[in-house]
Amino acid sequence: MEFNLSDHQRMYVETVRRFVKTEILPRILELEGKHAFPGEIIRKAWETGILNLSIPGAIKGYEMDAVSAALIIEELAYGDSGIATSAMCNDLANSVIAQHGSGPQQEAFLRPFVDNPLLASFCLTEPGAGSDNSAMTTFMSCREDGTYLLNGAKCFITNASYAAQFTVFCKVGKPTGNFMACVIVPVPAPSPEELAFGFEQGRKIAMSTGGNIVVGKGEDKLGQRLSNAAAVTFEDVVIAPEQIIGDRRLGFRYVIDVLDYARPMVAAIGVGLARRALDVTLNYTRERKQFGQRICDLPVARDTLTTMWKKVELAKLALMKSACALDEKTEDHGLYASLAKNTAAEAALFCANEGLHLHGGYRFMKEYEIYEGTREVEDMIIGREIC
Ligand SMILES: Cc1cc2nc3c(=O)[nH]c(=O)nc-3n(C[C@H](O)[C@H](O)[C@H](O)COP(=O)(O)OP(=O)(O)OC[C@H]3O[C@@H](n4cnc5c(N)ncnc54)[C@H](O)[C@@H]3O)c2cc1C
């Protein structure tokens, strides 16, 4: 078993680390403060070649393995998890075209992403159909001329305000039936100005082929504030047969294939976030002294830092195992994708919460729990009392 990265993979990691250091970290607080969309950073990421990782070699000129893709997403997320989410969403939306689209469909729907810095959206979730996407009501009805009409409402759709293409899952046949189709809906690409400031208040797209797409106001999220998410409504949007991916009844299978690819990438976002939380907390607790010692040397704080480190390392192992399983197309790759996602999510939450806590009141004045003594001080008092 090989635990070392290849020269190529090491080069990807170094490239994204440089990108994060020069393009993301210096601007993050300003963008976060304004809740601004990082359109310029996304454009530069595209120029650097770290977007659209799932586009096949036949279109892009080179193929990228899942381990390399996960490493790139992890490093981007170390810079900012919102930017990584926005970037990764292109692969969420486009991997179904890469996996199940015909040659002409790959040319028509993937080539534009190679030629220009565009964003894509993946439209699965609906207000009444979240974890249970079989309950979706978005429906595509067949017309006499062989085209279809797409109607329905999706919610929480990443990149929706800025997307140049929507990958949409919808019922077909009977609205209450079990057949689900996957259709690709390209729309006019936003201009660079619109990418920078554009559509957070909403966007209405009149389709030249018929129908409208209405994108709601950008959601005001608690976290990942540099990614955009909004509701999207499809109103009588005309769909040509060439826009349907694969078999128009097999959308459920395609969703599973997409999620098997996307889950390790979401895990990579969690690992990047957890690593960053650990690093900034280590830096802070090495510098700040209380009770005459560095905070990182105080026993209860050191236990927390050790647990943070262990969770990061285990999440990285689970991530790499799942990415290798995906590359090798093992039968159990879906199982390891779920393990990686859960392990990374747990590491990210733990490291963010505990890291925030170890920063005390100085950087996070809203953290009321820190008043009247931090949790560790309460634990010291309790420990002294009961021992
Ligand atoms: C920032 C963000 C970006 C997103 N981007 C996209 C996107 O680009 N495209 C897209 O299609 N969707 C997107 N989503 C939607 C996301 O996929 C859904 O939120 C998710 O699938 C859960 O659906 P729900 O929110 O309706 O929760 P629900 O399905 O209503 O679940 C709520 C809670 O109920 C519990 N629960 C649900 N099912 C079970 C079960 N079987 N057993 C036990 N407990 C259960 C869980 O605790 C769950 O958290 C995004 C969401 C967020 C927050």
- The CATH code of the domain that includes 200 is 2.40.110.10
**Is 130 touching ligand 1 by the criterion CB < 6 Å?**
yes
In single-letter form, the type of residue at position 37 comes to F
Q: What backbone phi and psi angles, to 5 degrees, belong to 167? A: -95, 115
Ligand 1 centroid–CA 168 distance in Å is 17
Q: Looking at residue 357, which CATH number applies to its domain?
A: 1.20.140.10
Helix (H) or strand (E) holding 148: strand 148-158
122 and 238 in one domain?
yes
47 and 119 in one domain?
yes
CB atoms within 10 A of CB 176: 8
**Is 123 touching ligand 1 by the criterion CB < 6 Å?**
yes
For residue 168, give the 3-state DSSP assignment: strand
**Is 131 touching ligand 1 by the criterion CB < 6 Å?**
yes
CA distances from 273 to 73, 128, 269, 363 (A): 11, 30, 6, 18
378 and 325 in one domain?
yes
* Structural domain that includes position 341: 254-386
Q: What was the pLDDT predicted at 133?
A: 92
Residue 340, pLDDT > 90, answer yes
- As beta bridge partners, residue 25 has none
**DSSP secondary structure string for all residues of 309-342:** HHHHHHHHHHHHHHHHHHHTT-TTHHHHHHHHHH
Q: Whose CA is nearest to atom 24 of ligand 1?
A: 130
Residue 371, pLDDT > 80, answer no
Is residue 207 situated within a structural domain?
yes
In single-letter form, the type of residue at position 373 comes to G
In single-letter form, the type of residue at position 76 comes to L
Residue 152, by phi and psi: left (phi above 0), alpha (psi -120 to 50) or beta?
Answer: left
Domain total in the chain = 2
- The answer to whether the beta carbons of residues 121 and 91 sit under 8 Å apart is no
Helix (H) or strand (E) holding 169: strand 165-172
Residue 372, pLDDT > 60, answer no
339 and 258 in one domain?
yes
Over range 316-331, report the average pLDDT: 96
Residue 197 corresponds to which tokens in the numbers above?
């400031």
Question: What is the value of pTM for the model shown?
Answer: 0.93
245 and 268 in one domain?
no
Among 216, 249, 282, the domain boundary falls at: 249
Lowest mean pLDDT among 55-59, 189-193, 344-348, 360-364: 360-364
- Alpha carbon 53 to its chain's center: 13
Residue 165, pLDDT > 80, answer yes
C-alpha to C-alpha distance for 213 and 231, rounded to whole angstroms:
10
Q: Tell me the per-residue pLDDT of 35-89, one tens digit each, with 9 for 90 and over.
A: 888 999 999 999 999 999 999 999 999 999 999 999 999 999 999 999 999 999 9
**Is 110 touching ligand 1 by the criterion CB < 6 Å?**
no
CA distances from 379 to 240, 246, 383 (A): 64, 59, 6
Q: What was the pLDDT predicted at 370?
A: 44
338 and 295 in one domain?
yes
134 and 30 in one domain?
yes
Lowest mean pLDDT among 196-200, 265-269, 321-325: 196-200
Ligand 1 centroid–CA 206 distance in Å is 29
Residue 167, pLDDT > 50, answer yes
237 and 261 in one domain?
no
Ligand 1 atom with the shortest distance to the CA of 132 = 29
261 and 229 in one domain?
no
Among 228, 249, 270, the domain boundary falls at: 249
* Residue from 81, 131, 265 to probe ligand 1 pocket by mutation (most atoms less than 8 Å from CB): 131
178 and 302 in one domain?
no
Ligand 1 centroid–CA 100 distance in Å is 25
Among 205, 231, 249, the domain boundary falls at: 249
Is residue 2 situated within a structural domain?
no
337 and 222 in one domain?
no
Is residue 1 situated within a structural domain?
no
* Residue from 92, 156, 182 to probe ligand 1 pocket by mutation (most atoms less than 8 Å from CB): 156
Residue 234 corresponds to which tokens in the numbers above?
């499809």
Q: What backbone phi and psi angles, to 5 degrees, belong to 244? A: -90, 130
